[in-house]
Structure 1
Amino acid sequence: MYKTMICLPVLFALGCQTMSQDEAQQLDNRSLPQTSAVNTISQQMVNSLTLQNDSLRPDQPIIVTTPVLLDDLQTTNALGLQLQQGLIAAMHQKQFNLVDTNVAEALRVTPSGDFILTRDWQQLPADLAVEHAVVTTMSLSSAGMAINSRIVNVTNNRVVSAAQGFINSTAMNDYIKPSETVVSAHGLLYRNAQAAQTVTVVGDK
């Protein structure tokens, strides 16, 4: 079996926010478990990926890439970064053979602490012998964010499994907020334009 070596430069810093139990329960009216909404949607996505998996074996290593916006496939946000961490935790619970792409080749001992995680691609291993990756896209709408995840065999780009999910803007106030009622576009102000605008991810410029 041929091994494909993947070099993955990582461009974004992790931003983590916490949610109250009441906010987590807003994700679904059926009273979700007392975890954050990000972890809940991550578990739901991984459950679907596990059910749809048609070839990935437990012993085959896999990486979880950072979710990206569907518009350009190379931009993420605070929600995407946290969603990646949730997917990693949920996949480990399902006993996937995970490889962490943020572990540096050497431990850095500094006056501020001892660190081994990094997003500097120059400190990461040059190659990773993995054949499968979890890739996720996010698409903003006026109601929230649609999420699509899939497990891809990177040796032939075959989709091994796929899952879909949706995050309602009212369920994750720490990450998503409705668009402003008054919208500026082309030098003009438009009122009552909320329905036509996408939601905003908190922390995005």
Structure 2
Amino acid sequence: MRFLIVIIASILAGCSTISNEISAFQKSRIEVIERENYTPRSEEGRLHSHIERLARQLFDTANAIDLNRPVIVGTFLPAKSLQAETNDSIQPYGLQLQESFATFSTQAGLKVIEYKALSSVHVTPNADIMLSRDIQQLSQRVQAEYLLTGTYIQQENSLIVNVRLINILDQSLIAAATDYLPMNSMWSHSKVRTKDQQLYRGEY
């Protein structure tokens, strides 16, 4: 009788093992099906937090930054051309990278110079303007010892961003960092797609 009980117990254990394997297989099948229909999770509205991660990486690698020396932050540009293209649909990323790094650099204690600041406030019916891109209205002399700028390279669903802090006196790199930004960090995945190296946004 003991022998029979052992056999039955072994069979039941075997059935349990098979059942577990089937369950695991079915679960893996579900995961495969889900991945086949996978779309990147929305990163919309998180661009600034992604840039913060890049900024932390930059400042963690910095060598001997003198916080009393002025720094100016430039627009991030395509690595290939190093020029701002008027029809470049990714340009908003470069502009926001500049703005966010100005914020994080100031918060880190650097002496950031806002070279686009006007010498006086321009009051208009719709706005009180304190910044300008008109070089005729800006100071022709900007004193700075550091440049903070960077480049980006487009991938299908992300940008590889390279940022560097440069000593103007000898063009040496004080700090550098590289990371990626999801393309849907500024617009949702359903609203943005890439084709032929161009960024397209759908209707909202």
Query: Do they superpose with TM above 0.5?
Result: yes
Instruction: Give 1:57 shift.
Output: 1.2
Instruction: Give 1:120 shift.
Output: 0.8
Instruction: Pick one of 67, 81, 85 that aligns with 1:58.
Output: 67
Write the distance in 2 (CA, Å) between the matches of 1:142 and 1:164: 17
Relative distance call for 1:156 and 1:82 in structure 2 (3 A) is same
Aligned-pair RMSD on alpha carbons?
2.4
Relative distance call for 1:112 and 1:56 in structure 2 (3 A) is same
Report the counterpart of residue 144 of structure 2 in structure 1.
Answer: 130
The TM-score with structure 1 as length reference comes to 0.68
Write the distance in 2 (CA, Å) between the matches of 1:159 and 1:86: 20
Write the distance in 1 (CA, Å) between the matches of 2:68 and 2:142: 15
Count of aligned pairs: 156
Superposition pairs of residues 1-205 of structure 1, within 5 angstroms? 26-27=42-43, 36-75=45-84, 77-173=91-187, 177-180=192-195, 197-198=196-197, 200=199, 202=201
Larger radius of gyration: 2
Write the distance in 1 (CA, Å) between the matches of 2:110 and 2:82: 25
Relative distance call for 1:167 and 1:103 in structure 2 (3 A) is same
Conserved? CA contact 1:142–1:199, under 8 Å: no
SS in 1 for 2:57: helix
Relative distance call for 1:170 and 1:130 in structure 2 (3 A) is closer
- Farther-moved stretch of structure 1 (166-175 vs 45-54): 166-175
Corresponding letter in the other structure for 1:177: V
Write the distance in 2 (CA, Å) between the matches of 1:104 and 1:97: 18
Relative distance call for 1:113 and 1:140 in structure 2 (3 A) is same
Write the distance in 2 (CA, Å) between the matches of 1:130 and 1:202: 38
Deviations 1:62-111 (Å, cap 9, x if unpaired)? 11101111111111611111221111111122111111121012221223
SS in 2 for 1:55: coil
Structure 1 runs of 4+ with >6 Å offset? none
Relative distance call for 1:171 and 1:109 in structure 2 (3 A) is closer
Corresponding letter in the other structure for 1:167: L
Deviations 1:146-198 (Å, cap 9, x if unpaired)? 10000001121101000111012344435983324xxxxxxxxxxxxxxxx43
Conserved? CA contact 1:133–1:151, under 8 Å: yes
Conserved? CA contact 1:169–1:199, under 8 Å: no
Relative distance call for 1:179 and 1:110 in structure 2 (3 A) is closer
Deviations 1:86-141 (Å, cap 9, x if unpaired)? 11111122111111121012221223332111111111111111110101101112
SS in 1 for 2:58: helix
- Higher fraction of helix: 2
% identical aligned pairs: 21
